[in-house]
Structure 1
Amino acid sequence: MTNKDVGTPSLLNRLVSLTTIRDIELFELSLLKTLAELLKVNQISMYKLNPDNKTCWLSAYSAKLIEDGNKRQLSESQEIYTSEIIIPDEIRSAQLWVETTKKPYIHLQSEKFLVIYPVLAASKIESMLTFELPHMLTEGEMLIITSLLSITHNFRSLLDESQKDKLTGLLNRQTFEANINKISSLILNAELGRYQDTSNRNRRRPKTGTEKFCLAIIDIDNFKSINDKFGHVMGDEVLLLLSYVMKQNFRSKDLLFRFGGEEFVVIFHAPDQADAYQILERFRTKIETYRFPQINTITVSIGATLISGMCHLASEILGRADQALYYAKHNGKNQLHFHEILLESGCIEDNKESGSIDFF
């Protein structure tokens, strides 16, 4: 491929198309698809490195021609963050090579060249792009990659900034609705997919053991008294440190929001309620024992609920967690309660309108 293979108007059109996207995960997948089309490769992957530098999240885009008799069609397989995996040895070696030589990693294997290209953020490797070519990477192809990554990096920085809370760096409230709706749709579609035809019109009941997501609202106890006693500067310091502990306690792909004031929301994957409870209780204990400058200690109250196909409306999910939070705040504070457990024990009634949060 030469520079003439991909003209400037074509590249600009791709960039215009990319920069109309406001969803970061969709943006990343579209970037992979655009690179695959411009480089004329069937498959391209991105290994997004976690801060621990031990695990990563894998994204992949593939497009292959399938022949069915006389028909030829393009089949696209798109996956976003399919799983969190241990960084493969080859990616680890490529990372070391790039850090040492400041050049992409290129390795000939099975008559094809494996290319592993770094994606930088603040002069640090954030992700590794991988694809195969039947030839050495040309100057024209390198220009395509570097140009696209440079411009899209700047755009993503702006996109990140618009979606982040300015004080804590967590996701802001405006991004909540899109994220919760995406997860709700994912779960609902997965549960509907569990119904399978057995004999024409007959369907099986859903299998048990469906994986779940958990939503929790975290509220700092007596935060007003902290501001009154120590001032708003120290109050902001508490918010910053609490958000720091959140980032340390939860995984990099968990969704962490500052919802307003002293209230935070977290959405994370959990195989069951017991696992979700353990994760949140560990965080509550961590905050209880954390030493905040001047203030010494603070506590948080947490209300949580599981996201399922039976409860998939954003306002309803939030309302259930808020009802559990209200119970925690009015029964001693520094507690974690799940809506489902409170409901089963008769401590609360199932009132869908009980959520006190003004949802948008």
Structure 2
Amino acid sequence: MKPILQHLVEMTGHRDHLRLEVSVLSTLQKLSSIKEVRALELFTDGGEPHIRPRTWVQDGQLVSTDSEAAADPRKEPLERYPELFECVTKQGDSALANPRPGRYTLWLPVWMHEKVSTCLEITQSRQFSAHKLEVLKGVFLVYQNYQNLLDYSERDALTGLFNRKTFDEQFARTTTPGLSSSKSPELVAPEQASIEGEHAQNWLAVVDIDHFKQVNDRFGHLYGDEVLILIANILRTSFRSHDRVFRFGGEEFVVLLRNTTLTMAHKVFNRFRETVQEHHFPQVGNVTVSLGFVGTSRGSPVEILGQADQALYYAKEHGRNQVRFYEDLIASGELATKVANDDVELF
């Protein structure tokens, strides 16, 4: 019992969903008779439920990927796992299967807000005893409860998007060389090399609702809050599952668009802007947004955020309802560099 308690202490010391996931799999893998552990991602593709491995054991170490689920060649229709499919459909807490002799599998779906997007899969060489199931489910419940606590602390109360605190933590980690690997060497992204070969990179966009103060002044804060919630919903549906959307407060949002080309970034951001423009907001009518974006490969987090802000405010000062790319504005002379390496202004 003592080793399990030590693993639980280590597991709940993490403040990141992926590292917590790796930690619980590492804990489960050390239990007797366990042959394989995986974290599976459940998602919808083409209107049908699918499943794909997100964290698994490869060459003796745990490997994780945060690539786009729908484009993963390892994805499978959920119906190929009938016991798990039935469990998810009925909102059950576990499923068991014996797919072939000497292989027994337990699935434990992670339910959050009455939805499931993650499932732990545990496979061993013999049937699960009542005591073993009790131990496994006990570890899992600690993990699930802690995942819920992490999720609550990371979210904006009104829109349900990630909050500013979460952005600071995630963005600093993605833009600081070696930070992720030094803290967690077991995390490996096997698809990274091919992505870099295609000249894709990450992009940061700052989004601001045009004339939002007028919405509050004319219709009241309840309708203003409804506009914020609806914009948040459009943001969710406009970007992929491995992109990240944050609410900074007020009418400002931030998007981290991951692993794509500049041409595609322009297309995706403009498609989002047009979707907002064409949406009818109850009582308020039409609403537009302005957006400034920049690549995240150069500069400190403060510099990158400041550059996206400069592009955003250029868009707002020159007609609103448009997308502006920082480097294009610098190259054309429409915008001067305001943030230097030795003199960073925080605002």
TM-score by length of 1: 0.81
Deviation at 1:160, TM superposition (A): 0.9
Picking from 256, 260, 268, the partner of 2:245 is 256
- Contact persistence 1:29–1:59 (CA under 8 A): no
Equivalent positions of 1:147-296 (< 5 A) are: 147-185=138-176, 209-296=198-285
- The whole-number CA distance in structure 1 between the counterparts of 2:268 and 2:64 is 27
What residue is the counterpart of 1:13 in the other structure? 6
Structure 1 residue aligned with 2:317: 330
Match for residue 133 of structure 1 among 115, 121, 124? 124
Assess, with a 3 A threshold, how the Cα gap between structure 1 residues 115 and 188 changes in structure 2: closer, same or farther: closer
Per the alignment, residue 298 of structure 1 pairs with 287
SS of structure 2 residue aligned to 1:288? helix
Distance in 2, matches of 1:187 and 1:348, equals 32
* Residue among 18, 22, 31 paired with 1:38: 31
In structure 2, the gaps of 5 or more residues are 182-195
Mapped pair 1:47 → 2:10: no
C-alpha distance in 2 between matches for 1:149 and 1:77: 18
Task: Answer yes or no: is the 8 Å Cα contact 2:67–2:242 preserved in 1.
Answer: no
Which stretch of structure 1 is more off in the superposition, 36-45 or 209-218? 36-45
| Per-residue deviation, 1:59 | 2.1
Partner of 1:351: 338
User: How many correspondences in the alignment?
Assistant: 323
Query: Is contact 1:324-1:337 (8 Å) kept?
Result: yes
Q: Distance in 2 between matches of 1:38 and 1:182?
A: 32
Give me the TM-score of the superposition, normalised by structure 2. Answer: 0.83
- AA in 2 matched with 1:93: P
- Whole-angstrom CA distance in 1 between matches of 2:284 and 2:211: 12
Alignment match, 1:58? 53
Specify whether residues 258 and 134 from structure 1 end up closer, same or farther in structure 2 by C-alpha distance, changes over 3 A only.
Answer: same
1:38 partner SS: coil
1:78 aligns with 2:63: yes
TM-fit CA distance, 1:208:
5.9
The answer to whether the aligner puts 1:107 opposite 2:102 as a matched pair is no
Higher Rg: 1
Aligned counterparts of 1:325 and 1:286: Cα–Cα separation in 2: 18
SS at match of 1:48: strand
Q: 1:319 aligns with which of 306, 313, 319?
A: 306
Tell me the alpha carbon deviations over residues 285-331 of structure 1, each in whole angstroms, 9 at most, x when there is no partner. Answer: 000011101100110000001121xx141111111111110110110
Distance 1:187 1:281, change over 3 A: farther
- After the TM superposition, which segments of 4 or more aligned residues of structure 1 sit over 6 Å from their partners? 186-190, 354-357
Alignment-mate amino acid for residue 320 of structure 2: K
C-alpha contact (below 8 Å) 1:328/1:336 kept by paired residues: yes
Q: Tell whether the 8 Å contact from 1:57 to 1:81 is kept in structure 2 after alignment.
A: no
**Residues 85-94 or 260-269, more deviating:** 85-94
Residues 234-291 of structure 1: CA deviation (Å, up to 9, x unaligned): 1111111110111111122221110111000010214210111111111000000111
* Distance of 1:347 and 1:307 partners within structure 2: 21
Match of residue 22, structure 2, among 25, 29, 45: 29
1:69-107 deviations in Å (ceiling 9; x for gaps): xxxxxx424324355233345655343232469551312
Give the deviation of 1:11 after TM superposition. 2.8
Matched residues in 2 for 1:140 and 1:345: separation?
69
- Cα separation, 2, equivalents of 1:294 and 1:170: 24
- Secondary structure at 2:241's aligned position in 1? coil
* Matches of 2:32 and 2:115, distance apart in 1: 25
Deviations along 1:194-217, one digit per CA (max 9) or x if unpaired, are: xxxxxxxxxxxxx86332111100
Residues 341 and 94 of structure 1: is their aligned pair in 2 closer, same or farther, counting only changes over 3 Å? Answer: farther
The structure-2 alpha-carbon separation of the partners of 1:101 and 1:290, relative to structure 1 and needing over 3 Å to count, comes to closer
The whole-number CA distance in structure 1 between the counterparts of 2:294 and 2:52 is: 26
Structure 1 window deviating more from structure 2 (145-154 vs 100-109): it is 100-109
